[in-house]
Amino acid sequence: MEYQISAILLSQEELAARVREIGETIGRDYAGKELVVVGILKGAVIFLSDLVRAVPADVNITLDFMAVSSYGDSTKTSGIVRIVKDLDGSIKDKDVLLVEDIVDTGLTLSYLVKMMRERQPKSVRVCALLDKEERRKVHVDVDYRGFPIPDEFVVGYGLDYGGRWRHLPAIYTIEQK
């Protein structure tokens, strides 16, 4: 099946304004502290790179990344989370912020949060740009959330379909050609 970009869901301006707000909130919550920001590859990289630049300098941020397998080339979740790349550093006794592009069923994040907790960090919080609330299968506490969105497959601003469209500066829905 071939897909094409359909409608714009969130514009560059809307994304930038919300990301700035979240960055400022994180700045207040972690002022004067050290924070390990963990990006979930690859979908979260664009969001994360804008987000961390919106956090004031008095938060001592370090970055780490984790890659998990998710949907492959299809738009249906498998429910299976496989660690493709683990963190480079230890998070023991550290404040950790997991940054994800989108929460759908919640399976990926709930698994990752559980796995992080087993490593005995001081705290773990979750930041997700998009939230498809009505699709949730397992509960996940999303501490910082960008936008609730309807149950539609979206691409752009880091999110892909079959590896494509991550570089688009806004968020779009897709449709069959």
**For binding to ligand 5GP (CB under 6 A), which residues are involved?**
43, 70-71, 77, 100-109, 153-155, 159-161
Known active-site residue 104? yes
Query: Which residues face 54 on adjacent strands?
Result: none
The SS3 assignment for 25 reads helix
Which is nearer to ligand 5GP, 38 or 107 (by Cβ)? 107
Shortest distance, position 103 Cβ to ligand 5GP, whole Å: 5
Q: Which residues contact 118 (CB under 8 A, 6 or more apart)?
A: none
Helices (H), 74-176: 107-117
Shortest distance, position 144 Cβ to ligand 5GP, whole Å: 16
Which is nearer to ligand 5GP, 50 or 104 (by Cβ)? 104
Which is nearer to ligand 5GP, 51 or 103 (by Cβ)? 103
In angstroms, rounded to a whole number, what is the distance separating the alpha carbons of residues 68 and 31? Answer: 30
Catalytic site residue from 50, 95, 101, 104: 104
In angstroms, rounded to a whole number, what is the distance separating the alpha carbons of residues 90 and 81? Answer: 21
Catalogue the active-site residues: 104
